[in-house]
Amino acid sequence: MTRVGASVQVEAPAERVFAAMVDLPSQSRWMLLTTLFPLAGEHPVPEVGSRMAALTGLGGAGVLDQMEVIAFRPPELWEVRHLGRLISGRGVFQVQDQGERCTVEWYEELELPFGPLGRLGWPLVRPAVRWGIAKSLRTLAAGVEDGSLPLASR
């Protein structure tokens, strides 16, 4: 298992940031090259037990990541389990309330695919993954700060 992530300071209350973080249409706006879809099930996203899929890539080609929500504690924690062969492990989104601002951390704890080859290649891929997470978090912060996110509240 390997861990990669980033954090960002957001000049907005934790409740508003958390709402943008867990709203799938909003996520599709701030997550780099990613479109999210709820999957049928007994629980609606973002609740525990709900399922979703994320397509990350360009022009409809990319990596499909199916996930299940395993923790939902607004406005501080949302955790998913990645269910695929290529992407497995967990993703954790934490919001640390600081009054009129907050800190958001997103990290992934991943089982690397492709065995020894995956472990060998990870040091080359990891900086790009971290950059993508950090870029996405900066986009989230900017959208919440300028009022364009969350979409569900507009």
**Structure confidence by residue, pLDDT tens digits, 81-136:** 999 988 999 999 999 999 999 999 999 999 999 999 999 999 999 999 999 999 99
Is there a contact between 7 and 133 (Cβ–Cβ < 8 Å)?
Answer: no
Positions of E strands within 28-119: 34-39, 51-58, 61-73, 77-83, 88-97, 102-111
Amino acid, single-letter form, for residue 65: D
CATH number of the domain where residue 42 is located? 3.30.530.20
| pLDDT in the model for residue 152 | 77
CA–CA separation, 117 vs 112, rounded Å? 9
Query: Parallel, antiparallel, or unpaired for β 2-10 and 102-111?
Result: antiparallel
Domain that holds residue 49: 2-153
Name the pLDDT band for 154 (thresholds 50, 70, 90): low
CA nearest neighbour of 136 among 44, 14, 3, 20: 20
| Average of per-residue pLDDT across 51-64 | 91
Instruction: Give the rounded distance of the alpha carbon of 38 from its chain centre.
Output: 14
72 has pLDDT over 80: yes
Provide the pLDDT for residue 50. Answer: 98
- Mean pLDDT value across the chain: 96
State both tokens at 87.
């992407």
% pLDDT > 90, the chain: 94
Q: 3-class SS at 28? A: helix
- Does residue 80 register a pLDDT over 60? yes
Domain count, the chain: 1
Q: Which two tokens stand for residue 133?
A: 């997470």
Report residue 16's pLDDT band, with 50, 70 and 90 as the boundaries: very high
Tokens 């390997």 found at: 2
Look up residue 56 and give its two tokens. Answer: 């990350």
pLDDT band (50, 70, 90) for residue 153: low
| The pLDDT of residue 61 | 87
Give whole-number Cα distances, 112 to 4, 76, 116, 142, in Å: 12, 27, 9, 31
Residue 70: pLDDT above 60?
yes
Work out the end-to-end distance of the chain between its first and last CA atoms, rounded to an integer number of angstroms.
Answer: 39
